[in-house]
Structure 1
Amino acid sequence: MTEAGTQRRAHAPISVSFEFFPPKTDAMEASLWQAIRKLEPLAPEFVSVTYGAGGSTRERTHSTVSRILAETSLKPAAHLTCVAATKDEVDAVVRDYWDAGVRHIVALRGDPPAGAGTAYAAHPGGYQSSADLVAGLKTIGDFEVSVSAYPEKHPESGSFDVDLDVLQAKVDAGATRAITQFFFDNDHYWRYLDRVRARGINIPIVPGQIPIHNFKQIAGFAARCGATMPASTAARFEGLADDPETTQLVAAAVAAEQVRDLVKGGVTEFHFYTLNRAPLVNAICHTLGIKPHAPAASAVNA
């Protein structure tokens, strides 16, 4: 294992955080809150709520974050992006979060609105980059700010040097944690961590993990965001397209192996992209030794 990869000792306590997305329908609302009830007893460091392309879920994100604050013991982090909004509009959202008691923001550049094409263009009156957004957040309140990181580099970055320049700018602006894009080959993470530390960037680089509950869907996500799907991983799901029960068992084994390997290398923090599905994430956490501390204190109604 590399020197950077052994930055933390494997015997240190393991901490986790979870990402949810705001519901669009009553059925999705029920699924979300079922997942929250299932995972809340694991006492995650925080839970984040995503923000749709172009800010398309702004109100639903705010509503979900507010309800988590009001009805659970969890610490919510709200996703926020730069796109399709002026600085004043974004700042108004940020102040609303601060007034509601939110103290953690996941600051992202964001994707263009649906139908606007794939090229990113900053709003002429808005924040021009994620680093610009981080700096703006810090002028409004003393937020904890998490940002993104890309072990296989961002698809739009011309090189790892450019990618690391962007991360450095976000750290210089006040980011305190980076959460990685999901990956399936841990060597990508270790090489990336070496590059980050060689740059003198010392904030936590938290591995983002996504359980493969549906291979076709997750492989599609990976292809769109530039995350490599190893042939050895794909082979383990061959022939299971019509067998969701076996898929779940294989997915749990694959994810557990990956996180155990990262723990052996000294990783102590993990961020799970739950897709509002709790069982696999709960099983992986159990494997890591993270078990319910007590029954959930909240009485959340789906």
Structure 2
Amino acid sequence: MSVNTRPATIAQLLEASDRPLFSFEFFPPRDAEAEQTLWRTVRELEPLGPDFISVTYGASGSTRDRTIRSTERISRDTSLRTMAHLTCVGQSAAQVRHTVGAYAAAGVHHVLAIRGDPPGGPTAPWQQHPEGLANATELVELVASLGDFCIGVAAFPDLHPDRRDAELDARILVAKAAAGASFAITQLFFDPQAWLRLVERVRARGCDLPIIPGIQPVTNLRQIERFAELSGADLPRRVTDRLNAAGDNPDAVRAVGIDIATELCEDLLSLGAPGLHLYTLNRSRASREIFARLH
């Protein structure tokens, strides 16, 4: 009798766990030095026992090979459940299939399927590849058709920058669930009520898709302003006022930023968030501090 020894999927963990999941996001390194930094960060965070980690995928597939290599190495050389991002920007359906096949060959069976940003940025006009896919829903359908993958998708508490339409965002998220997605991870945001409103809109459509908040620790005001601008996230005055009050002292700014992120996490957990996904920027210190405060 054969026994399935594959570890539980993220979807299975979300369904069975009696506690919120905890996870981290990395981006693929650009060079050997950056790879050493990434690997050091992975090793520093691994002892925390995250439920999974994810590795991003650059615009227009610009980091595809590096994403494949990074996810393969993490999956092979650590105990971490690994998820690879996948976009359909600037790629034919055949190229997407090839990438999915490479993930499977690397032993990676979790995919975060996102449309991805156009080359001009999140607010630039979307241009579908002539032989490609139109949107993330089609990408989910394709990945689901190619094998036994656990598929995640993106969600937007502060509205998708293209649409700025809360009801349309909810309808699209429900469509992605119907296409085969098992969970969603949000873009960065700072208002816990924005996450709750998104969840309620999705639930009102009869969809119980788990929506995991994505958390960006703030350690640099200019940087977070740029991230918020790119993602369309609302950066509340109460956040910037607290950071500005810390003055020009980087350590003070960083300490306030960790406070803000921890408070957001605590609020979200009290509202019933199924997990927390921290964007590490390939550094471990902020994530370790937040994890310690929450545990």
TM-score when normalising by structure 2: 0.90
- Indicate if the aligned counterparts of 1:109 and 1:129 stay in contact, CA closer than 8 A: yes
- Indicate if the aligned counterparts of 1:20 and 1:276 stay in contact, CA closer than 8 A: yes
- Indicate if the aligned counterparts of 2:122 and 2:231 stay in contact, CA closer than 8 A: no
SS in 2 for 1:77: strand
- Indicate if the aligned counterparts of 1:56 and 1:113 stay in contact, CA closer than 8 A: no
95 and 213 in structure 1: CA distance in 2 versus 1, 3 angstrom threshold:
same
Could you give the per-residue CA deviations for residues 63-108 of structure 1, whole angstroms, max 9, x where no partner exists? 1111101211111111100111111111011111112211100000
User: Counterparts of 2:112 and 2:216 in 1: how far apart (Å)?
Assistant: 18
**Pick from 60, 75, 79: which aligns with 1:73?**
79
Asked if 1:150 is matched to 2:150, the reply is no
Q: Which residue of 2 aligns with 1:259?
A: 265
163 and 29 in structure 1: CA distance in 2 versus 1, 3 angstrom threshold:
same
Show the 5 A alignment for 1:199-218: 199-218=205-224
Deviation of residue 235 (structure 1)? 0.9
Deviation of residue 285 (structure 1)? 0.9
Could you give the per-residue CA deviations for residues 239-281 of structure 1, whole angstroms, max 9, x where no partner exists? 5464221122111111111111112222241111111111111
Asked if 1:223 is matched to 2:229, the reply is yes
Q: Which residue of 1 aligns with 2:185?
A: 179
SS in 2 for 1:181: strand
TM-score when normalising by structure 1: 0.88
Q: Which residue of 1 aligns with 2:168?
A: 162
| One-letter code aligned to 2:210 | P
Q: Which residue of 2 aligns with 1:99?
A: 105
Could you give the per-residue CA deviations for residues 114-169 of structure 1, whole angstroms, max 9, x where no partner exists? 58981111111012211111111111111000000011210111522221221122
User: Counterparts of 1:250 and 1:117 in 2: how far apart (Å)?
Assistant: 30
Q: Which residue of 2 aligns with 1:32?
A: 38
User: Counterparts of 1:232 and 1:241 in 2: how far apart (Å)?
Assistant: 15
| Higher alpha-carbon deviation: 104-113 or 117-126 | 117-126
Percent of paired sites with the same residue: 42
Deviation of residue 113 (structure 1)? 2.7
Deviation of residue 173 (structure 1)? 0.6
SS in 2 for 1:237: helix
User: Counterparts of 2:207 and 2:281 in 1: how far apart (Å)?
Assistant: 30
In structure 2, runs of 5+ residues without a counterpart are 1-13
Which structure 1 residue ranges, 4+ long, deviate > 6 Å from structure 2? Answer: none
| Higher alpha-carbon deviation: 217-226 or 100-109 | 217-226
Show the 5 A alignment for 1:122-141: 122-141=128-147
User: Counterparts of 1:241 and 1:34 in 2: how far apart (Å)?
Assistant: 31
User: Counterparts of 1:95 and 1:239 in 2: how far apart (Å)?
Assistant: 50
101 and 52 in structure 1: CA distance in 2 versus 1, 3 angstrom threshold:
same
User: Counterparts of 2:20 and 2:165 in 1: how far apart (Å)?
Assistant: 32
RMSD (Å) for aligned C-alpha atoms: 1.9
Q: Which residue of 2 aligns with 1:54?
A: 60
SS in 2 for 1:224: helix
Deviation of residue 210 (structure 1)? 0.4
- Indicate if the aligned counterparts of 2:23 and 2:52 stay in contact, CA closer than 8 A: yes
The one of the two structures with greater contact order (alpha-carbon pairs below 8 A, sep at least 6) is: 1
- Indicate if the aligned counterparts of 2:59 and 2:117 stay in contact, CA closer than 8 A: yes
Aligned length: 280
User: Counterparts of 2:294 and 2:44 in 1: how far apart (Å)?
Assistant: 17
In structure 1, runs of 5+ residues without a counterpart are 1-7, 290-302
- Indicate if the aligned counterparts of 1:147 and 1:175 stay in contact, CA closer than 8 A: yes
